[in-house]
Amino acid sequence: MRLIFLGPPGAGKGTQARMLAAEHGIPQIATGDMLREALAQKTPLGLEAKAYMDRGALVPDEVVIGLVAERFGRPDALSGFLLDGFPRTVAQAEALDRLLKEREIGIDRVIFFEVSEGELLRRLTGRRVCRGCGALYHMVSSPPGTAGRCDRCGGELYQRDDDNEATVRGRLSVYRTQTVPLLDYYRGRNLLVSVAGEGPMNDIARSIRQAVAAARGR
């Protein structure tokens, strides 16, 4: 099972990826999470990435491609993976194709999350993330039982530095210019399936499962 989750910031990629990856026992390879981890550990790569992330720009392709190539080399990625937030430029998609070719494998499906811009803004400005386990919350639509604390691990909830309205608008504009061209890239390869990304999370999870099952039956 090798999947790509593609969609704008706040579309629900991370929320759905956590569930599906756990169900299938495959790693969720989320470049945003990997970059934030590097930053938390104050590695040179993390500190370099911070300047881009804080202003809502993309981190240079070669940095992100290097991270993913290294991640693919770990044993747990042999049985499959779910890419969340990568690729997001045509250059990244082409590099991914080369990495897959070297391993003589392919992608089963690219799931595209369709969500309106007003809803994306609402989701991102209200999002909170657990510092301990990475669980995702929303102040209005999925608040924690105890304010500021994770229901699962008791960790502290925080707001991402790039989740303020000005940066979110910048991220959406970067998405439109740099990532939207990937829709045609994967449509042309007959891999793209669009899923309605608004509504109850379980309904969206069901649509994704159906799209994945259809790919496996091909």
* Residues carrying an active site annotation: 13, 88, 127, 160, 171
Among Mg ion, ligand AP5, none, partner that 144 touches (CB below 5 to 8 angstroms by kind): none
- Rounded to the nearest whole angstrom, what is the least distance from the CB of residue 98 to ligand AP5 in the complex? 16
- Rounded to the nearest whole angstrom, what is the least distance from the CB of residue 217 to ligand AP5 in the complex? 26
Q: Of 138 and 169, which has the nearer Cβ to ligand AP5?
A: 138
Rounded Cα–Cα distance for residues 97 and 112 (Å): 18
Among 58, 82, 135, 208, binds ligand AP5 (CB under 6 A): 58
- 138 contacts 128 by C-beta, under 8 angstroms: yes
Q: Of 13 and 109, which has the nearer Cβ to Mg ion?
A: 13
Site string for ligand AP5, 175-194 (x = CB under 6 A): --------------------
As a whole number of Å, the CA-based R_g of the chain is 17
Rounded Cα–Cα distance for residues 167 and 150 (Å): 25
Rounded Cα–Cα distance for residues 79 and 2 (Å): 9
Site string for Mg ion, 6-25 (x = CB under 5 A): --------x-----------
Question: Which residues 65-124 are close enough to bind ligand AP5 by CB under 6 A?
Answer: 85-86, 88, 92, 123-124
Per DSSP, the residues of 67-106 read: HHHHHHTSGGGTT-EEEES---SHHHHHHHHHHHHHTT--
Residue with tokens 């042309």: 188
Among 169, 201, 205, 209, binds ligand AP5 (CB under 6 A): 201
Residues in the chain, how many? 218
Rounded Cα–Cα distance for residues 25 and 11 (Å): 23
63: enclosing H helix or E strand: helix 61-72
Question: Which residues 137-176 are close enough to bind ligand AP5 by CB under 6 A?
Answer: 137-138, 141-142, 162, 171
Note the residues at the interface with ligand AP5 (CB under 6 A): 7, 9-15, 31-32, 35, 52-53, 56-59, 64, 85-86, 88, 92, 123-124, 127, 136-138, 141-142, 162, 171, 201, 204
